[in-house]
């Protein structure tokens, strides 16, 4: 893949699962990505040849400021996040602090446009986020609006739902155990034991949680579409990034079984405190942006690409040998 030669875009977490897909999409759209990632959840091989990778915490203001100055960066995308809905509170606090520092460094360094990768966890139950992770994401969203709502500045906040699947060319994909689809694919390929289902007594058609599963290539396209909207003068955008269609946990497991031709063992456990019964995107707003179609890649394709990625990863010992890895870490 040829690197883009257009404006430089600073991407935190660009060596991670979603981040690596965003870097690919940026290059295909003609941008020049500059990645900062501490590799705690990413992999240096996920960064394409020619894309600069700086191995550092995205919250390191000195590093971020230097990258902004060296590459004359006017736009940034913040994806780095080492936590999750079920992560320990200490990890969530650390990740939140790092994100806050990244936003501050971008604002202080003269970045004019910022795209924040947020999460559907901000919704939670009727009373608000059901987890500390969701509350932390809400706080980061508020900080972005405060720092990038001013003349000459703009922000886009993308609340991503459940990302599933891999790049069709197998240039990027999930790490082991990352999300239900990836776990189910590993179980179907006899790479792990039973898949745990948290709660079978939810108020849903089959008793399991219903989620909106969106392919990382669609998520990446949404980031590019949001960035271009900011370039056209949109001052602020907050939108769901999902398909608008829900599938239950049992439906997903059944779909993986059909795609793989294998049976998956299921282990039922009580509900997790951080879960909600239903989480499905309302993608109408972002769907109005040129260059993005809600749910263009269906769940079946997400599963088939995840299976192919998992098989390749196991066969090659970790990464696609036909995909040249990124430039040396600095």
Indicate which residues carry an active-site annotation: 133
Task: Give me 148's structure tokens.
Answer: 């990038």
Residue given tokens 């994100």 in the structure block: 99
Residue 119's beta-bridge partner residues? Answer: 160
Q: Is the separation of the CB atoms in 173 and 309 below 8 Å?
A: yes
Tell whether the torsion through CA atoms of 218, 224, 226 and 229 is positive or negative.
Answer: negative
How would DSSP label each residue in 221-269? HHHHHHHHHHHTT--EEEEEES-S--EEHHHHHHHHHHHHT----EEEE
- Among candidates 201, 109, 177, 103, which has minimal Cα distance to 146? 103
Q: Is the separation of the CB atoms in 217 and 167 below 8 Å?
A: yes
β-pair type (8-12, 195-198): unpaired
CA distance 204 to 128: 20
């Amino acid at each position: 893949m040829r690197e883009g030669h257009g404006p430089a875009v600073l991407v935190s977490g660009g060596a991670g699962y979603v981040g690596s897909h965003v870097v690919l999409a940026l290059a295909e759209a003609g941008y020049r990505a500059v990645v900062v990632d501490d590799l705690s959840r990413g992999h240096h091989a996920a960064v394409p040849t020619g894309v600069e990778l700086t191995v550092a915490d995205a919250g390191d203001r000195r590093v971020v400021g230097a990258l902004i100055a060296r590459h004359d960066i006017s736009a940034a995308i913040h994806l780095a996040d080492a936590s999750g809905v079920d992560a320990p509170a200490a990890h969530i606090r650390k990740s939140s602090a790092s994100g806050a520092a990244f936003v501050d460094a971008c604002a202080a360094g003269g970045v004019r446009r910022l795209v924040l990768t947020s999460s559907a966890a901000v919704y939670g139950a009727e009373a608000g986020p059901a987890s500390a992770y969701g509350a932390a994401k809400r706080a980061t969203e508020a900080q972005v609006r405060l720092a990038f709502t001013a003349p000459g500045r703009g922000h886009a906040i993308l609340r991503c739902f459940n990302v599933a699947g891999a790049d069709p060319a197998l240039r990027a994909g999930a790490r082991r155990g990352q999300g239900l689809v990836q776990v189910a694919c590993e179980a179907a390929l006899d790479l792990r034991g039973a898949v745990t289902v948290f709660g079978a007594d939810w108020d849903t058609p089959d008793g399991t949680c219903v989620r909106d599963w969106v392919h990382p290539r669609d998520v990446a396209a949404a980031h590019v579409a949001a960035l271009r909207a900011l370039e056209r003068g949109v001052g602020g955008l907050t939108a769901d990034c999902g398909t608008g269609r829900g599938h239950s946990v049992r439906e997903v497991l059944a779909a993986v079984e059909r795609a793989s031709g294998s049976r998956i063992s299921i282990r039922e456990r009580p509900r997790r405190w951080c879960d909600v019964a239903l989480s499905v995107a309302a993608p109408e707003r972002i769907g109005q942006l040129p260059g993005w179609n809600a749910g263009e890649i269906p769940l079946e394709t997400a599963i088939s690409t995840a299976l192919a990625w998992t098989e390749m990863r196991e066969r090659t010992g970790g990464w696609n040998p036909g995909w040249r890895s990124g430039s040396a870490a600095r």
